Structures are given as C-alpha cells and as structure tokens.
Amino acid sequence: MDRMEKLNILGDAAKFDASCASSGSGRAGKPGQLGNAFSSGICHTWAADGRCVCLLKVLLSNACIYDCQYCQNRRSNDIPRATFQAEELAELTIQFYRRNYIEGLFLSSGVVRNADHTMEQMIRVMRILRETHKFGGYIHVKTIPGADLKLVEAAGLLADRVSVNIELPSSGSLSLLAPEKKPDMIFTPMRGIETMRRSALEDGKKHSSAPMFAPAGQSTQMIVGATGDTDRTILRLSGGLYQKFRLKRVYFSAYIPIGTHPALPPRETATVPLLREHRLYQSDWLMRFYSFTADEITEDGERLDMEVDPKCAWALRHPEFFPVEVNRADRETLLRVPGVGMKSADKIIEARRFGPIRAEHLRKLGIVMKRARFFLTAGGKYEGEARHDHPFLRELLTDRYDNGQLSLFGDGNKTPRLIGSGESAAPPASIPQQPALPETPSFLKLMNA
Ligand code: SF4
C-alpha cells in the first residue's frame, strides 16, 4: 500500500476524533463556487493567541485490537486497514508543511499490538519531527488508553496538547460498549498529565530552560447520544474534569450511527443529535466562563431544553432574578443576563464610569438586545414593550424566532405566529434519546476515588 492510499484510509478514519473545533464539516465544491470542506484530512484549531492553525489530522493506524462498539475502527468492523511507519508519517507531515498545506499535526491511533507499542510509535513520529526535522509547529497527540505513564510523559514533552479520550460519559456505558477499557485507563493518565504539567510549570518559574510539558494543556472527547447517559450526567462529568484535571476543553461529538450493538441507536437512525451537541457546548461555555454549575443548568431535569439556549432556560426558571438594572448590577449578575457576554459586561462596567447608561446605549455596548431586552433595564426602563414577565417570553426566546419578528401584542392563550411567514410555533421534532442505563458507580465517584 503506498503512502497516499494509507493517507486516504487513515485521514478518513481520523474524522471521528472531535478534538479540533472545526473538524466536523463536510461540503462538496460546486461548479461556479470557490472551495470545499472535507470532514477528514486537514482540520483547524485555534492557538492561544487566537490564530487559526491548519492541522494534518490523521491516525497512525486503524488496525485496532479493541472492539469498542461505537467506533468505526473496532476490530470486528470489516473495513480496509492501514498503518503508517513512524518515518513515513513524519516525512509526510514535513512535506505538507513545506508546501504550506498545514501548520501542525493532530495525531491519534487505534491500538496496534498493545497500548505501549502504539504509544512508542506515536512518540517516534513526534521525535523525528522535533529532533530530526527541527519541526517547531503545533502537535496535538491523543494518548492510548492503558499506555505506561512514562510514555505519556514522553509524549507530553514533545506535543503542545495531549488528550485522553473519555469517549463515554459513565462507567455503565463503558462496560457495556467498550468492556476492554477500564475507567482507570482513562483517569490515571489524565491525573498524571495534570501532575506533570503543574510540575513543569513550577520548574519553568525557577529555570527558564526547564522543558515545557503539553503547554497547550489537555483535552478530552465525549460521544453524545450513543447511550442513555443524560445531559446532567455529561455536564456534571465535564465540570468535574475541568475542576479535577484542569482540562482545557471537553469536546462533545454527536454519535454517528455506525455500530450494530443492540444498545446503540440503529444504523438507519437518520437524526444525528447535533442540536443536543450544540446545547452541550453552550452549557460547557456557561460553566467555563460564566460561573454556572452543571446542577444550575440542569436543575429542572436530566435533559437540556432543546428549544431555548441554556442561559435563556435558566432565566426563564428564575423570574425572581430579573430585571437586572444595567447601572447597578455587578459583573457576575450581568453575566447571568441572556444576551450579555463577557465583553459586553466589561464594556457596561467601563461605560458606567462616565455616567448613567440609557436604553439607547445598550446596543452600542455589544449587548444582544433580541434577548437582553426582556431582562435588562436602564434607569428602570425596559427597551420598548419587552418585559421579563411577557406572556410569550419563552416563544420569543426560542431559536426558531431568531430570523423572524414576533408580535409583542396578542392573545396570551393563542400560539404566537411569525409575522409575515404564517408559520405557527410548532416545537421542533424531539431528539431521539437512548433508554437510561441502570445505576453504576459514576465516573465522578471513580475520578475522585
Ligand atoms: S480503542 Fe480507540 S480506535 Fe480502538 S476501537 Fe476503541 S475507540 Fe476505536
């Protein structure tokens, strides 16, 4: 098999790894249009300074000895297999880099022979790049579950970002769909990476020449919708991972029906729960930057509200918190207002130093008034007819109204209609959910054990 054949197989196999923020898009080029997007091959990530970086996203091998039922590369799946030699993959990366196709490498792999052997080969690729070719570009490496911690350490000294995929959100799902993997194969390296990273940071403060360890931090990926794990379980686990192991990111990946196990959604399931994935990302953002907890976001049930975003859903459940007066509220309170982001909260606080804020100033401060007008007052006044106790408030906040204008006046007993469209406010089709799994020790408990 030549390199291009291997690249086709292993680039395509890597598309299921979601640890790059823009890797899920696939769009064919059309005559008369410029460009296209492939869900495999080259993906984008963002450097700490906000720059977008193109990465060659590839597996070292898809000849996996494990049989994780949700995975395309499981040993029982009849697909073409390929494995790169470390030298081949390093050479390919350098060739692509020299041609300006990529600025870095995202390297993952199935488990070939055993975890340590695979990890050694991945380290070899990075070592050739860093030491032989003096490659200074970005490298994101996935560690192999069960690999020796010494190898994880060697990987962290060569890569910018290291990740350990948690894949499933509970020990029940893991033992059902990936019984060869045990929770400690995931949490031991996560804990080890955090310890090594902290110690490298301490060393770096004392000696400027101390080696860096995974300077871009660690991340993980969780598959959503393969099993009956609820949004509350997923968000509590994410919150625990951020706190316990200081993860940079938890990536959510909507399950693509590729497995045949009876516990998985049937292969013919057409709906990939992308909306659910989107709501989880919104909730994750609230936890990381807006001081919300997983329990606050899911306080009214196990599942997230699919009709309104999680911040609006929280605001609807807490009318006692509103309205917030823009001239008096502290930053933390402002951040609870739908439509007020971190930048606009800071601008509000800055603007207040020069005088009272009036309703006409709000849009100029970057506030999304489409949502904020129901929850924010300036000098005691709402904008226009908006009020936080508006009878159609929920309908007005649904994503379905984003591009339409809804009359603020009307009969509170009738379903609101989009002006001009004649469309009624029918709820979106419900998102298929797998049946809930029986109680098992949660990952949170095992993580803290
Ligand atoms: S170990 Fe990784 S590559 Fe192998 S079957 Fe499981 S998820 Fe897939």
Ligand 1 atom having least distance to the Cα of 109: 3
**Ligand 1 centroid from CA 59, angstroms:** 11
Give the position, in ligand 1's atom list, of the atom nearest the Cα of 62.
3
Q: What is the enclosing helix (H) or strand (E) of 104?
A: strand 104-108
Residue 72 Cα to ligand 1 middle (Å): 8
CA of 112 to the centre of ligand 1 (A): 10
> What is each CA distance from 315 to 157, 273, 318, 321, 363, in whole angstroms?
44, 24, 5, 8, 20
Residue nearest to atom 5 of ligand 1 (CA): 74
Pick the atom of ligand 1 nearest to 71's CA.
8
Mean pLDDT on 93-107: 90
**Torsion region of 72: left, alpha or beta (phi above 0 gives left; psi -120 to 50 gives alpha):** alpha
- Distance from the alpha carbon of residue 144 to the mean position of ligand 1, in angstroms: 9
Half-sphere exposure of 183 (CA within 13 A, CB side): 17
pLDDT digits (tens, 9 = 90+) for 342-354: 999 999 999 999 9
| Ligand 1 site, CB within 6 A | 64, 66, 68, 71, 73-74, 110-111, 178
Nearest CA to ligand 1 atom 2: 110
User: Which pLDDT score, from 0 to 100, does residue 44 have?
Assistant: 64
CA 261 to ligand 1 centroid distance, Å:
15
The H-assigned helical ranges of 328-376 are 331-334, 342-352, 369-372
Distance of alpha carbon 371 from alpha carbon 378, whole angstroms: 15
Q: Which atom of ligand 1 is nearest to the CA of 75?
A: 5
pLDDT at 159 over 50: yes
Q: Which residues contact 294 (CB under 8 A, 6 or more apart)?
A: 232, 235, 236, 238, 239, 283, 287
- Cα of 176 vs centre of ligand 1, distance in Å, is 14
Give the Cβ contact number of residue 379 at 10 Å: 11
Higher pLDDT: 39 or 30? It is 30
Maximum Cα interatomic distance, the chain, rounded to a whole number of Å: 73
Cα–Cα distance between 162 and 254 in angstroms, integer?
22
The pTM of this model reads: 0.83
Radius of gyration of the chain (CA): 24
* Spatial separation of the C-alpha atoms in residues 23 and 2, rounded to whole Å: 25
Q: By CB neighbour count within 10 A (0-12 exposed, 13-18 middle, 19+ buried), where does 262 fall?
A: exposed
10 Å Cβ neighbour count for 79? 14
- Residues sharing a CB contact under 8 Å with residue 406, sequence separation 6 or more, in sequence order: 392, 395, 396, 416, 417, 418, 419
Rounded Cα distance, 67 and 178, in Å: 7
In this predicted structure, the answer to whether residue 296 has a pLDDT above a threshold of 70 is yes
Q: Which residues pair with 138 in a beta bridge?
A: 104
Highest mean pLDDT among 192-196, 366-370, 401-405: 192-196
CA distance 235 to 247: 14
pLDDT in tens, 211-258: 999 999 999 999 998 888 999 999 999 999 999 999 999 999 888 888
Pocket residue to mutate for ligand 1, from 16, 19, 111, most atoms within 8 A of Cβ: 111
Distance (angstroms) between ligand 1 centre and the Cα of 353 equals 56
Q: How far is the CA of 17 from the centre of ligand 1 (A)?
A: 11
Cα–Cα distance measured from residue 47 to residue 55, given in angstroms and rounded to the nearest whole number: 11
- In the chain, what are the domains? 3-273 (3.20.20.70), 310-401 (no CATH)
Tokens (6 digits) for 185: 């194969």
- Given ligand 1 and candidates 9, 19, 74, which is best to mutate, with the most ligand atoms within 8 Å of its CB? 74
Model confidence band, residue 77 (pLDDT cutoffs 50, 70, 90) = very high
- Residue closest by Cα to atom 3 of ligand 1: 110
C-alpha 332, offset from chain centre: 24
Which run of H or E residues covers position 300?
none
User: Residue 12 C-alpha to ligand 1 middle, in angstroms?
Assistant: 15
**Strand-pair category, 218-224 with 52-59:** unpaired
Provide the 10 A C-beta neighbour count for residue 428.
11
Give the three-class secondary structure for 265. coil
Q: Which two tokens stand for residue 278?
A: 């989107």
Output the residue whose Cα is nearest ligand 1's atom 6. Answer: 68
Ligand 1 centre and the CA of 308: distance in Å?
A: 35
DSSP 400: G
pLDDT at residue 6 greater than cutoff 60: yes
Sequential DSSP letters for 405-432? -B-S-S-TTSPPBBTTT--B-PPPPPPP
**Residue 110 Cα: closest atom of ligand 1:** 3
Mutation to probe ligand 1, out of 9, 15, 66 (largest number of atoms < 8 A from CB): 66
| Calpha distance 222→172 (Å, rounded) | 14
- The one-letter code for the residue type at 417 is R
3-state SS class at 158: helix
Quick one: which atom of ligand 1 is closest to the CA of 145?
1
Q: Is the pLDDT of residue 39 over 50?
A: no
Q: Calculate how far, in angstroms, residue 185's C-alpha sits from the geometric centre of ligand 1.
A: 13
C-alpha 299/C-alpha 314 separation (Å) is: 9
- Model pLDDT for residues 116-135, shown as the tens digit of each residue: 999 999 999 999 999 999 99
In this predicted structure, what is the pLDDT of residue 249?
92
Q: What distance in Å separates the CA atoms of residue 170 and residue 175, rounded to the nearest whole number?
A: 9
Lowest model confidence (mean pLDDT) among 26-30, 272-276, 340-344: 26-30
Q: How remote is the CA of residue 74 from the centroid of ligand 1, in Å?
A: 6
